[in-house]
Structure 1
Amino acid sequence: MKYLCLVYLSQENWSACPDATCFAFAEQLAASGRMLAAEPLHPVGTATTVRVRNGQMSLTDGPFAETKEQLAGFYLIDAKDLNEAVAVASKIPPAQYGSIEVRPVRELALV
């Protein structure tokens, strides 16, 4: 089953985990056959939020909502169940500085 591990960090901890550490973990995860994708994100100040209401598009600079921790990146993994996904998430290096949200990926129902 696919799980998305969302990495959240506060602005003061955004660069606390060195890229080399994250890269080494990603290589290890890929070698295990569990990693499907992983990418870091630029800081939240570079975000643009798009909304469409009544056919009209509006753009807002920045994130959808103000929060203490912001989405910093993700790992898309393959795990047999939630327990295995949580075990993988607990080893993601930025977990030491922020939090990792683990969510199962839902397949679209084609009806």
Structure 2
Amino acid sequence: MAKFMVLAFTNPIAGKEDEYNDYYDNVAMPVYEGVPNTKVLGRYKALDMKSYEFAMENQWKYVSLYEIEADNIDDHFKEVWEYIEKAKAEGRYQFNEFIDKSTVFEPVFVKMVD
């Protein structure tokens, strides 16, 4: 099985940071922790600093990290969306209305060497 890393970079809507964080802590993370073959590694808030002087400016306030083990990442994401849809139908999940959708960046990486 291959290992993948998903980094979900997000920002709250201006003036809605408390609501944004409350949603993640009390709605999203409990649901995401139940996604099969997915390990929630945590949420992080960016510091106002650069590791290198030549590095680009950070555009995001928050990142969530997820490790996935799957034979086929496309099939895994189909399962994720089925799981999320079930959670929605059960009233346990809805998309975070406090995310600035114009800034969402969610790259997926595959582990190169074990």
TM-score w.r.t. the length of structure 1 is 0.54
Amino acid in the other structure paired with 2:40 = L
Match status 1:39 vs 2:49: no
Change (3 A) 1:77 1:64: same
Amino acid in the other structure paired with 1:66 = E
Amino acid in the other structure paired with 2:107 = V
Q: CA RMSD in A?
A: 3.8
**Could you list the runs of 5+ residues in structure 1 that have no partner in the other structure?**
51-59
Amino acid in the other structure paired with 1:31 = G
Equivalent residues, number = 93
TM-score w.r.t. the length of structure 2 is 0.53
Aligned counterpart, 2:65 = 75
Check whether the contact 1:6–1:71 (CA below 8 A) recurs between aligned residues. Answer: no
Matches within 5 A, 1:1-111: 1-9=3-11, 12=14, 15=17, 17-23=19-25, 24-33=27-36, 34-42=38-46, 44-45=47-48, 47-50=49-52, 60=53, 64-66=55-57, 69-70=59-60, 72-78=62-68, 80-82=72-74, 84=77, 87=81, 93=96, 96-97=99-100, 98-108=103-113
